[in-house]
Amino acid sequence: MALTLDTGVCELKLSRGAVRFNGEDFLTRFKGKKISFVGDSLSFNQWQSLTCMLHASAPRSNFTFSRKGGLSTFSVVDGEVSVKLSRNPFLVDLVTEKIGKVLKLDSIENGRDWKGYDMLIFNTWHWWTHKGSQKPWDYIQEGKTIQKDMDRLVAFRKGLTTWSKWVDTNINPNVTKVFFQGISPVHYNGDEWNETKSNCNGQTQPINGSSYPGGSPPAAAVVRDVLRNMKVSVTLLDVTALSQLRKDGHPSIYGSGGKEGNDCSHWCLAGVPDTWNELLYATLISQGKAIN
């Protein structure tokens, strides 16, 4: 069962007016609680944004940061709040075996690390699309069937279904609030917004209007369908449409890859991921989430 936040407006209107991010209130609500983002580098984008927003809201608080393997932890010592990032780009397991790296669509051993949190924000999709030398796996396995590759949307649906079954089996919704970060768009193909031969590089203005000419990415429909069939209520943080309009929001040639990289996938900070966290906070308020 999925709950979807309507992002047709930038401010969520409630009986008491518009909701804007309040870091002090956020820290109060989550005093003594543990939050974890689980996913790929777009999860990192949102996690980094939230930690900056919290720090800016309470700059005199005592903060700590640590990193061990794929786990990064930002803690507010005064408020006893921890915001973690667990890097797991597929949610399902990618393991190294004798034949090479194998993406196991029906295995989710990493899930043991996701238990015991008060709020989980999952995401995956970015790395499912990579091909050629950037493809992260050598083989894909489902059951006893092993193959070099398969239709990426089909593989994505299978992997996401495995994740959904893990959530249904292991998460108590009365204890843990679960979100799924919607598909974060890329801006490599200007044809999608009627600017042939362009990409995010050099863009300084958002797309006019409230709809994206290129339409919704097919992966977004897969996410909605999988969440719709779950037993545990998972809130879809539907960031796709609003982010599609921000062709100007990427690092482009100013990212870590420089001119050779031209990053039109990730987002500048401050920037679009801050809006994602505004929506996250508004959703918590709208659902009356005062975690006890």
**Active-site positions?**
41, 263, 266
In eight-state DSSP terms, residue 206 is P
- Rounded to whole angstroms, the Cα distance separating 56 from 174 reads 31
- Rounded to whole angstroms, the Cα distance separating 58 from 20 reads 16
In total, the chain counts a number of residues equal to 292
Q: Is the dihedral of CA 145, 150, 152, 157 positive or negative?
A: negative
Retrieve residue 94's tokens. Answer: 């990618």
**DSSP per-residue codes, 93-112:** EEEEETTEEEEETT--GGGG
Helix then strand then coil, in percent of the chain rounded to 5, is 35, 20, 45
Contact present, 79 and 61 (Cβ < 8 Å): yes
- Rounded to whole angstroms, the Cα distance separating 9 from 291 reads 26
